[in-house]
Amino acid sequence: MLGVCNGLFEKTDLWVSKALEALSDYEFDSFLVGTKVSGLLLENEDLLWEIAGASYAEPLKAELNREVGKRIEREPGKIADFETPDLVVILNLWTETVEVQSNAVFIYGRYLKFKRGIPQTRWFCRACRGRGCERCDFTGKMYLESVEELISDSLLNEFKGTDMVLHGSGREDIDARMLGSGRPFVLEIKEPKRRTVDLRIAEETVNTENADKIGVTDLQYVKKGMVAKLKNAKADKTYQVNVEFQTTDTVREDAVKNALDALCGAMIEQQTPTRVAHRRADLVRKRKVATAQLVSFTAEAHRAVMELKCDAGLYIKELISGDKGRTKPSLNALLGVEAEVTELDVLDVDFDIPVADFKL
Residues that are catalytic = 173
Distances (CA, A) of 121 to 48, 97, 198, 215, 238: 52, 36, 24, 15, 22
- Cβ 171 vs Cβ 178: under 8 Å: no
CA of residue 127 relative to chain centroid, distance: 25
- Cβ 354 vs Cβ 346: under 8 Å: no
Q: What does the alpha-carbon distance between residue 128 and residue 140 come to, in Å, rounded to a whole number?
A: 7
Interface ranges with Zn ion (CB under 5 A): 125, 127-128, 133, 135-136
Q: What is the largest CA-CA distance in the chain?
A: 99
Q: What does the alpha-carbon distance between residue 107 and residue 195 come to, in Å, rounded to a whole number?
A: 10
Q: Which is nearer to Zn ion, 143 or 221 (CB)?
A: 143
- The closest of 292, 298, 309 to 253, measured between CA atoms, is 298
Q: Which is nearer to Zn ion, 130 or 336 (CB)?
A: 130
- Cβ 185 vs Cβ 167: under 8 Å: yes
Distances (CA, A) of 86 to 101, 104, 291: 9, 8, 46
Q: Which is nearer to Zn ion, 3 or 130 (CB)?
A: 130
- 3-class DSSP state for residue 243? strand
Q: What does the alpha-carbon distance between residue 268 and residue 184 come to, in Å, rounded to a whole number?
A: 26
Beta-bridge partner residues of 359:
222
Q: What does the alpha-carbon distance between residue 115 and residue 168 come to, in Å, rounded to a whole number?
A: 18
The long-range contacts involving 60-63, CB below 8 angstroms and separated by at least 24 positions, are: 60/5, 60/8, 61/35, 61/37, 61/91, 61/93, 63/9
Q: Smallest gap, in angstroms, from Cβ of residue 122 to Zn ion?
A: 13
Distances (CA, A) of 76 to 29, 73, 100: 9, 7, 19
